Amino acid sequence: LPATFCAGMTLPLITGALLRRGAGERAIGQVYAANTLGAIAGVLCAVHLGLPLLGLKGTLVLGALIDAALGLALLYRYAPQRWLFAAAGGACLLAFAPMALLFELDANKMTAGVFRHGDLSSSRDAQILYRKDGKTATVHLVRYADATSIRTNGKSDGSINLDPDGARGSDEITMVLTGAVPLALKPDAKSAAVIGIGTGLTMHTLLQNLSLDRVETVEIEAAMAEAARGFAPRNSAAFLDPRGSIWIDDAKSFFATRNRRYDILISEPSNPWVSGVSGLFTREFYRRISGHLNEGGVLVQWFQLYEIDPSLLASVLRALGEAFPHYVIFAPSDHDVLIVASRSPIALPARAAVFEHPALARELRSVHVLAAGDLDARYLGDRATLEPLFASYGMPANSDYYPVLDLNAARHRFTEKNASEVVALLNAGVPVLDMLQPAMRRRPVNPEHKGASSFERIENTRLARYARDYLLLPKAPEPEAVSTQLQKDLELSKLRLLECREPREQDVWLHGLINLARTLNPYLPPGETEAVWARIAAAPCFATLLDFQRRWIWLFAAVGMRDAPRTAALASGLLASQTDLSRDAREYLLMAGMAGHIGAGNPQRAKELWATYEDRIRAGGKPVFRLLRCHAERGDNAACAAAFEAYAGG
């Protein structure tokens, strides 16, 4: 820091000295020109010679030595007494010799990411497998107890558990699905390009599809590609398959200088708060990259939801949407999204073509994606469904000239913002996304519920199937990892509604039944939910219920069937007739009523429901209500954003 401070003072000091001596503009211009040329030469020498040959420590020491040598030369030239020069030279020697000879940069501490988490504990048991100071970053390959991680400047850019029997982390699942999802959407693809090699697993996954003729990966840092070899054999195709090639270049210059087009383009650079990365999320980049897609080709943009907030995702989607009229969003994990964009309409596959390639199916099985339903479970929606949500934030498009992402991403990382609430739409108590997309029918997830530990919707599907079996089967299944509250709700509902006992506990069982509706309806197909609610309606107890209680059960059945008109009518009626509702019950009815009216083609009625009941629950900040409220505006994004600006201000 002192050397940097003093070096920064030289230009104004020289300028001031020249002005005092009466030097003209020409002399000052020459000083500025020399300073600029020196800065450029210094960067070029450091990047292309210093770091590759001397490493980070050696380059720092060399730079400091040059700085000190210049100071000594000036002192020798202008010092009135020679002993001052000798004393300064001796002081420099005493300062530099111990640092150069005895001090070493601790690789374990440098890989710990202490700037990110404030914790060095992860470095204690780490084993450094690879270390290199590259031209753009210091790269390490580090083995931890549960995974091997590739790290740039201490930040993880991907990790893999190399133990075949070990647990799969979210990074691994995301990387495999980043390669598999575009292959599912475009099974006839022949060529692909990947921006950023990371662990090499995405490239490896693409190459498991034998229909692809070529896969090109662009990586700006050569050391990353070298370090990624340490993940073998998990990523072996990336380096051994002759159809694959790795290019060391900046992504923008790579595409600018090559006139190639691809069927699939995958952009998975580092996190946008990393210096220089946010430029790969701008409207200018998306416009440029769209010209490198074949007709019907798709762009896959990975975007993390941790250390970010929904407004920045909205800014990126607005930029992307200017170049690509169509996009769909998948959630490979609870903390990441994959945005698949195209200039042509994107059709969801009717058949699971990715499982027809044995090697690709094996990769998917390794991350617990066993069936087409496991992909469907991760599907949020298309542009028409989701754009109203992102319009509610009123964000401008991220641009090279208005870098919203670059200016805000580091701050959101520092304040630990999170946008995973976007993926939480898949787990809303009412299947809102399904009701807004009536043509979509999700196929069932794998019966073993593999992947439940890493994706909440699959775990919730397991619980929904348990609840279904508890209410329908003669012998209740054994509870396994079932919460006490869910078990209590099931037992009470069965006692009151199927066995006709505990009639006085109406408030308690109705509250429990609302919880059961949240557990069942969003995760089971309509036929299975219909069986549950039909069983309850057919039981002798049903006739003894009060009218409003029966209407609640009819509502749950309508929601489970995704019957938008009936859901709208029942929810609106209950909201109007029940004055003593709990906040929780009123929120459920408002969500169901708005989704029903929008799904039935009556957005104005949904808007009226919002205006009447929103102030009683104050749930406007929840993404599901942002989504519904803005769908009620039917394309008026300005009014949508204004509604939530007023809500935030109030």
pLDDT in tens, 581-612: 888 999 999 999 999 999 999 999 999 999 89
> What is d(CA 500, CA 473) in angstroms, rounded to the nearest whole number?
17
| Total length of the chain | 650
> What is d(CA 604, CA 598) in angstroms, rounded to the nearest whole number?
8
Q: What is the mean pLDDT of residues 54-82?
A: 74
> What is d(CA 332, CA 367) in angstroms, rounded to the nearest whole number?
10
List, for residues 187-216, the tens digit of each pLDDT value.
999 999 999 999 999 999 999 999 999 999
In which order are the strands placed within the sheet that holds 379-382? 244-248, 214-219, 191-195, 262-267, 293-304, 336-342, 326-333, 379-382
Q: What is the mean pLDDT of residues 502-515?
A: 77
> What is d(CA 513, CA 536) in angstroms, rounded to the nearest whole number?
11
Whether residue 7 contacts residue 67, with contact meaning beta carbons closer than 8 Å, is answered with: yes
Interhelix angle for 383-391 vs 310-323, to 10°? 130
User: HEC states along 133-148?
Assistant: ECCCCEEEEEECCCCE
Neighbours of 626 (CB within 10 A): 25
| % of the chain with per-residue pLDDT over 90 | 59
- Which residues, listed in sequence order, are joined to residue 191 by a DSSP beta bridge? 214
Q: Dihedral, CA atoms, 156, 157, 161, 167, nearest 10 degrees?
A: 80
| CATH number of this structure's domain 170-427, picked from the four choices 1.10.10.60, 3.30.70.2860, 2.40.50.100, 3.40.50.150 | 3.40.50.150
Whether residue 244 contacts residue 157, with contact meaning beta carbons closer than 8 Å, is answered with: no
Q: What pLDDT sits at residue 119? A: 62
Q: What is the mean pLDDT of residues 13-30?
A: 78
> What is d(CA 379, CA 374) in angstroms, rounded to the nearest whole number?
9
> What is d(CA 285, CA 100) in angstroms, rounded to the nearest whole number?
43
Sign of CA dihedral 220, 222, 227, 229: positive
**Helix and strand counts by DSSP (H, E) for the chain:** 28, 12
Q: What is the mean pLDDT of residues 542-558?
A: 94
Continuous segment of H or E residues that includes residue 382: strand 379-382
The DSSP string of 441-496 is: -PPPPPTT-TTTTT-HHHHHHHHHHHHHHHHHSSSPPPPSS--HHHHHHHHHHIII
Residue 532, pLDDT above cutoff 70: yes
Instruction: Name the pairing type of β-strands 214-219 and 191-195.
Output: parallel
Among 83-97, 239-253, 635-649, which stretch is predicted with the lowest mean pLDDT? 635-649
Residues 6+ apart with CB under 8 A from 507: none
List, for residues 308-320, the tens digit of each pLDDT value.
999 999 999 999 9
Whether the model pTM is above 0.85: yes
List, for residues 115-174, the tens digit of each pLDDT value.
565 666 556 678 889 988 888 888 989 998 889 999 988 888 999 999 888 888 889 999
Continuous segment of H or E residues that includes residue 217: strand 214-219
Please, where are the H alpha helices in 524-563?
A: 526-538, 547-560
Of 615 and 333, the one with more pLDDT = 333
Q: What pLDDT sits at residue 563? A: 97
Residue 360, pLDDT above cutoff 80: yes
CA of residue 429 relative to chain centroid, distance: 23
Domains of the chain by residue range: 2-104, 170-427, 432-649
| % of the chain with per-residue pLDDT over 70 | 92
Task: Tell me if residue 562 falls in helix, strand or coil.
Answer: coil
Q: What pLDDT sits at residue 649? A: 42
Q: What pLDDT sits at residue 465? A: 97
List, for residues 267-293, the tens digit of each pLDDT value.
999 888 888 888 999 999 999 999 999
Task: Tell me if residue 501 falls in helix, strand or coil.
Answer: coil
Residue 646, pLDDT above cutoff 70: no
> What is d(CA 18, CA 514) in angstroms, rounded to the nearest whole number?
80
Q: What pLDDT sits at residue 650? A: 39
Whether residue 333 contacts residue 173, with contact meaning beta carbons closer than 8 Å, is answered with: yes
Give rounded-to-5 percent helix, strand, coil for the chain: 55, 10, 30
Among 102-116, 446-460, 529-543, 632-646, which stretch is predicted with the lowest mean pLDDT? 102-116
